[in-house]
Amino acid sequence: TQLLEQSPQFLSIQEGENLTVYCNSSSVFSSLQWYRQEPGEGPVLLVTVVTGGEVKKLKRLTFQFGDARKDSSLHITAAQPGDTGLYLCAGGVNNFNKFYFGSGTKLNVKP
């Protein structure tokens, strides 16, 4: 059983479209991170959010932490082929950087 559920599991869209990926849990987290992983490589951190309701923007990517710190969303505007990859959310539970990873959303952006 995954502590964090991500949806959708797979997403295939055309370049220029917008999309939103969701990360949900029944547990409260002290922080929430989003990673992107490309084939044959390890995950790379995109953002960390720590306050309920917090919104962070990274160019065309917008991240939001739910008010109750149980869920998060990642919105990509005008997706590009370079955005293709596996997107993972990770919930932090203590000060030693212990994170539980979500099941992942595999995004494919077609040119």
* Binding positions for another protein, rule: CB under 8 A: 2, 30-31, 33, 40-45, 48, 50, 88, 92, 94-104
Minimum separation from the CB atom of position 10 to another protein (A)? 12
Contact 101, 5 (CB under 8 A): no
Minimum separation from the CB atom of position 73 to another protein (A)? 19
Return the residue matching tokens 């008010």.
67
Question: Considering beta carbons, is residue 80 or 101 the nearer one to another protein?
Answer: 101
Minimum separation from the CB atom of position 50 to another protein (A)? 6
Question: Considering beta carbons, is residue 63 or 99 the nearer one to another protein?
Answer: 99
Contact 13, 108 (CB under 8 A): yes
Q: Report the distance separating Cα 17 and Cα 38, nearest Å.
A: 20
Q: Report the distance separating Cα 58 and Cα 35, nearest Å.
A: 13
Question: Considering beta carbons, is residue 14 or 95 the nearer one to another protein?
Answer: 95
Contact 108, 11 (CB under 8 A): yes
